[in-house]
Amino acid sequence: MKQSEKPRIILVPYPAQGHVTPMQKMAIALLNLGFEPIMVLPQYIYNQIVIHNEENHHHHDRFKWVAVADGLEEDTAGDFFGIESAMENTMPSQLKSLIQELQQGGGGVVVCAVVDLLASWAIQVAEKCGIFVAGFWPVMFATYKLVASIPHMVRCGLISETGLPQHEGKFCFIPQLPILDTEDLPWLIGTVAAKKARFKFWTRTLERSRSLKWLLVNSFPDETKLDNSATTLLSLGHLFNHTHTNNPSFWEEDKSCLGWLDTQNPNSVVYISFGSWVSPIGEAKLRSLAMALEALGRPFLWVLKKAWREGLPNAFEERVSRHIGRVVSWAPQMKVLRHKSVACYLTHCGWNSATEAIQFEKKMLCYPMAGDQFLNCAYIVQVWKVGIRLNGLGVKDLEEGLRMLMEDVEMESRLRNLHDIVIGRDDDLKEDRNVRAFIQDFSK
């Protein structure tokens, strides 16, 4: 069968690095099952991945990446509310035209659309075009359970109808989920107005996803046992972890840091990255962390974009580069975490970062900042016990955190066991059967 005759599946990720990466793994998995995946991205993300990363072009030749007009200006391209406006007002008509073009043109039939729940706008478009739609949840399933409990939170008075906490302190009303603080809810980011707007975004997402028959989850089977809803869950964690592909980066990676890691002693370097979703920690904490790293004198590799370096002490990069550390704008994270010189990972607890740390058995110093990171951190620290949560980013905080990591002699054993669960192949046959059941369902 020719490539153009393969049945087509449209993939619509939310336009952020932590969402596009697992959706790409979804695309590779579907490609290996005989489909032609078509990844739909807003124009500005397409430009960053496909055009600005020329050396990665050959990684994208295996399936199609399609850009749709987003109407975004340069100053709003990375802004949550700018992206939301583009998804709600500009991109739906563009996706509709793309689907109609694919349906009317030559090649394989469009049989399904897999839509990131945070890109819920595309659910309605695909359904109106008569296409079977499956939801995609790219992070920990426990976060979905937390968000899906919004109506219950409102009814029991934990939050208002606009999403603001009505009480301060810890709560745990969802069976099997760890204890959280009311300030840790995923939509509580920024000003009061921003928190309310983000809450509205989530409630709209829930409303649109109620019609979905399937939810594909980037997690592992044990974790999805938390569910008792009518939606059929398909855990894809093992499938994704065994899908070998270079992740598309939105930014140019500084591979010179790998050579620097080669010069360091085994199990000595602290790797630091706060991800790409939000500007990390603020200038005051940025400065505090920089001073702490310099004072500790331990080798470190810190991922920090140039636009975020305003808070660094004068000549910090020049001083540390001569002795103990490297600061890079973006790093090839999988290769860094795999490196034998990396001892631990100071992380914001994004789900991709957490699973990659587990994959390469790296202990974690946790400093969550927004979204699902607090719940991920709770699992890392409270449930799995493969990391330590930092209360701050000063010298004493880092010293105490590193000491606790080193003194917990059983942490390596727990990390190894968790690695076997997350990466292991015990559930692969079941997962493969589930994938084929999903395919048979939409093929009808």
Judge if 381 and 290 occupy the same domain. yes
Judge if 419 and 434 occupy the same domain. no
Judge if 128 and 261 occupy the same domain. no
Judge if 382 and 395 occupy the same domain. yes
> How far, in whole angstroms, is CA 251 from its chain's centroid?
16
Judge if 419 and 429 occupy the same domain. no
Longest dimension (CA), the chain: 64
pLDDT for the residue 18? 85
From the number of C-beta atoms within 10 Å of its C-beta (0-12, 13-18, 19+), residue 4 rates as exposed
Query: How many domains is the chain partitioned into structurally?
Result: 2
Is 271 within the bounds of a domain?
Answer: yes
Judge if 308 and 430 occupy the same domain. no
Judge if 385 and 270 occupy the same domain. yes
Judge if 346 and 234 occupy the same domain. no
Is 162 within the bounds of a domain?
Answer: no
pLDDT for the residue 302? 96
Rg (CA), the chain: 22
Residue 280's CATH number: 3.40.50.2000
Is 260 within the bounds of a domain?
Answer: yes
pLDDT for the residue 429? 57
Judge if 275 and 129 occupy the same domain. no
CB neighbour burial string for 300-329, b if at least 16 within 10 angstroms, e if fewer: bbbbbeeebbebbeeebbeebeeebbbbbe
pLDDT for the residue 226? 46
Q: What is the pLDDT along the chain (444 residues), one digit of tens a residue?
A: 454 588 999 999 999 888 998 898 888 888 888 899 999 999 988 888 766 555 544 445 577 899 999 888 766 656 889 899 999 999 999 999 999 999 887 777 899 999 999 999 999 999 999 999 999 999 888 899 899 999 999 999 999 999 999 988 888 777 778 888 999 999 998 899 999 999 999 999 999 998 898 898 887 755 545 454 555 666 665 555 555 555 666 777 889 999 999 999 999 999 999 986 555 677 889 999 999 999 999 999 999 988 788 889 999 999 998 889 999 998 999 999 999 999 999 999 999 899 999 999 999 999 998 889 999 999 999 999 999 999 999 999 999 999 999 899 899 999 999 888 777 655 555 666 777 778 887 777
pLDDT for the residue 77? 59
Judge if 356 and 433 occupy the same domain. no
pLDDT for the residue 262? 95
> How far, in whole angstroms, is CA 63 from its chain's centroid?
21
pLDDT for the residue 207? 94
Domain that holds residue 113: 3-138+212-242+425-443
Tokens representing residue 311 in the block: 């808070």
Is 331 within the bounds of a domain?
Answer: yes
pLDDT for the residue 137? 93
Judge if 343 and 233 occupy the same domain. no
Judge if 334 and 290 occupy the same domain. yes
pLDDT for the residue 59? 46
Rounded-to-integer distance, Cα 145 and Cα 164, Å: 18
Q: Is-contact 120 208, C-beta < 8 A?
A: yes
